């Protein structure tokens, strides 16, 4: 299938766009995973001291959820201006705000120094960080997708989505290094270093983003007066026919929930049942390295077999593997822990890798930034924002049973599987088309299989 309109773009510019989007995604995931790791390791004691360590950890994960709660709002605000004014400007703003919030977290005084003001400032900065992240992924994905050739969108999106394992790998390695410090040094200044290092990613990322051109698809819409006339309020237009938004959100819940359990929460869980922290961190580094191969592979595969087939395979795999995953982890064997997380990462990558092209192809140009950002960030809020908090609470309530954790994975993966099943294959559709106003949730198509199924 080919689109009805071809967008010709300079290949060197496309590479620069992909690299700039990759760096933004690296910063996003570095900040996210760094915060989640520190919440599991030190934030409970430093910012939420309690005589009960489990309650301190739950409170620390609560701040993680607060950041996620701000993401949909960020998606709406940045999506609105991204659809009205352009993708590039918004991506510069999101990178600056993300990096600044992370850097300032590294400078915060702790509860011991300023009392209750410390957790208040931490939550505030986490909310600011989440607000900026809300507009980052959608804009980064669109810049790549709207520049790329229709038949290679998955391939180029896979480069951008490498930011997930690279950011995770960077965060994990940095945390492993500072974890080698004596406890006194780690709790006094060592935990600050990873946050302060985020400034380096911002500088490099801004240099790349300032040199890219605006999306040619968006520019064409502006030249034709489409984006400005048709969608003065993109959010209202998306909400008027919400089916595509609901399906976009549901499609992302599974991979986000599995990520939250198999990365951030697994640290606290594994330590609680007797694992050495070094064994857990080593396993996390290995699975991040695996994703450097599987994410671009599965994303490119979606160009050949379709977005739905790849994502459905991951959803089915997650349902099947949910119980065996924790059975392997509960052996308290470093080898089986690594095997469990490797398999979990493969099925997560199958669900996650096609998301960028899938969501981008579900919305018209005049509402794409808003629709993609809001759908993706709502999925992150529902799938990952509250998952570590819920998981920690369930563990405390059930005396440490892993069965509720497996159930979370099953439910989340089923939601993703059903949603992807309800989306008609979008691979290769014409990005210059928009919503069909006469049929809620359906998208105007350049080929009969594009868009969202309406029965």
Please state the length of the chain.
455
Query: Does the pLDDT of residue 258 top 90, yes or no?
Result: yes
Query: DSSP states of 317-329 as a string?
Result: HHHHHHHHHHHHH
- Please report the pLDDT score of residue 436 as a whole number: 44
- Report the b/e string of 302-329 with b at 16+ CB within 10 A: bbeebbbbbbbbbbbbbbebbbebbebb
- Residue range 318-370, pLDDT digits in tens: 999 999 999 999 999 999 999 999 999 999 999 999 999 999 999 888 888 99
CB 423 within 8 A of CB 358: yes
Q: Looking at residues 389-407, what average pLDDT do you find?
A: 87
Q: Looking at residues 391-409, what average pLDDT do you find?
A: 88
**Residue entry with tokens 């999106």:** 157
CB within 8 Å of 18: residues ≥ 6 apart: 144, 147, 156, 159, 160
**Which percentage of the chain shows pLDDT scores above 90?**
39
- Please report the pLDDT score of residue 10 as a whole number: 64
CB within 8 Å of 236: residues ≥ 6 apart: none
- Please report the pLDDT score of residue 4 as a whole number: 43
- Residue range 47-67, pLDDT digits in tens: 877 656 666 767 777 777 788
- Please report the pLDDT score of residue 445 as a whole number: 42
**Cα-to-chain-centroid distance, residue 189:** 28
CB within 8 Å of 8: residues ≥ 6 apart: none
For the chain, the helix, strand and coil percentages under 3-state DSSP, each to the nearest 5: 80, 0, 20
166/5 Cα distance (integer angstroms): 34
The confidence band for 192, taking pLDDT boundaries of 50, 70 and 90, is: very high
Query: Does the pLDDT of residue 307 top 90, yes or no?
Result: yes
- Residue range 195-219, pLDDT digits in tens: 999 899 899 989 888 888 887 787 7
Q: How far apart are the first and last CA of the chain?
A: 23
Q: Looking at residues 377-382, what average pLDDT do you find?
A: 91
CB 279 within 8 A of CB 337: yes
CB within 8 Å of 418: residues ≥ 6 apart: 250
Most trustworthy range by pLDDT among 95-99, 147-151, 215-219, 311-315: 311-315
- Tokens describing residue 266: 């697994």
Q: Looking at residues 370-389, what average pLDDT do you find?
A: 89
Q: Looking at residues 431-455, what average pLDDT do you find?
A: 43
- Tokens describing residue 44: 């409970």
- Please report the pLDDT score of residue 9 as a whole number: 53
Closest CA to 53 of 268, 218, 281: 268
CB 353 within 8 A of CB 161: yes
Which of the pair, 44 or 258, is modelled with greater confidence?
A: 258
CB within 8 Å of 115: residues ≥ 6 apart: none
- Residue range 133-187, pLDDT digits in tens: 899 988 899 889 988 888 889 999 999 999 888 988 888 788 888 888 888 888 8
Classify 181 as helix, strand or coil.
coil
Of 39-43, 161-165, 410-414, which range is least confident? 39-43
Query: Does the pLDDT of residue 225 top 80, yes or no?
Result: no
- Please report the pLDDT score of residue 271 as a whole number: 85
- Please report the pLDDT score of residue 272 as a whole number: 86
**From the DSSP assignment, how many helices (H) and strands (E) are in the chain?**
23, 0
């Amino acid at each position: 299938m080919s689109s009805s309109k071809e967008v010709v773009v300079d290949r060197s510019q496309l590479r620069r766009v992909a690299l700039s989007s990759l760096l933004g995604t690296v910063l996003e995931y570095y900040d996210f995973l760094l915060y989640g790791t520190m919440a599991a390791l030190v934030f409970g004691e430093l910012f939420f001291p309690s005589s009960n360590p489990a309650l301190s950890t739950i409170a620390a994960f609560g701040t993680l959820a607060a950041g996620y709660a701000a993401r949909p709002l960020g998606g709406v605000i940045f999506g609105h201006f991204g659809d009205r004014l352009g993708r590039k400007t918004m991506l510069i703003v999101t990178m600056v705000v993300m990096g600044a919030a992370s850097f300032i977290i590294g400078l915060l005084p702790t509860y011991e120094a300023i009392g209750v003001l410390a957790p208040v400032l931490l939550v505030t900065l986490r909310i600011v960080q989440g607000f900026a992240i809300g507009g980052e992924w959608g804009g980064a994905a669109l810049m790549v997708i709207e520049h790329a050739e229709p038949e290679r969108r998955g391939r180029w999106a896979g480069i951008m989505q490498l930011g997930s394992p690279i950011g995770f790998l960077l965060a994990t390695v940095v945390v492993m290094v500072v974890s080698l410090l004596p406890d006194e040094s780690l709790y006094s200044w060592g935990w600050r270093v990873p946050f302060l290092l985020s400034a380096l990613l911002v500088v490099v990322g801004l240099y790349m983003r300032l040199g890219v051109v605006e999306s040619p698809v968006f520019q064409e819409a502006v030249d034709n007066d489409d984006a400005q006339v048709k969608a003065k309020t993109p959010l209202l237009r998306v909400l008027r026919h919400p089916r595509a938004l609901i399906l976009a959100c549901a499609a992302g819940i599974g991979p986000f929930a599995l990520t939250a359990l198999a990365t951030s929460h697994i640290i606290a869980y594994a330590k609680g049942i007797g694992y050495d922290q070094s064994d857990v961190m080593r396993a996390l580094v290995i699975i991040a390295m695996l994703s450097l191969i599987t994410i671009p592979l599965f994303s490119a595969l979606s160009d050949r077999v379709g977005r739905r087939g790849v994502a459905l395979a991951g959803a089915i795999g997650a349902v099947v593997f949910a119980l065996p995953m924790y059975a392997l982890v509960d052996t308290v064997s470093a080898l089986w822990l690594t095997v469990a997380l490797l398999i979990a990462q493969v099925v997560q990558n199958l669900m996650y890798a096609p998301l960028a092209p899938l969501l981008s192809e579900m919305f018209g140009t005049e509402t794409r930034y808003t629709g993609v950002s809001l759908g993706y960030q709502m999925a992150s809020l529902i799938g990952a924002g509250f998952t570590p908090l819920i998981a920690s609470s369930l563990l405390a309530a059930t005396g440490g049973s892993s069965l509720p954790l497996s159930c979370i994975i099953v439910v989340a993966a089923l939601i993703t599987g059903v949603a992807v099943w309800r989306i008609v294959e979008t691979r290769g559709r014409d990005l210059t088309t928009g919503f069909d106003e006469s049929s809620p949730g359906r998208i105007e198509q350049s080929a009969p299989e594009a868009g969202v199924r309406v029965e």
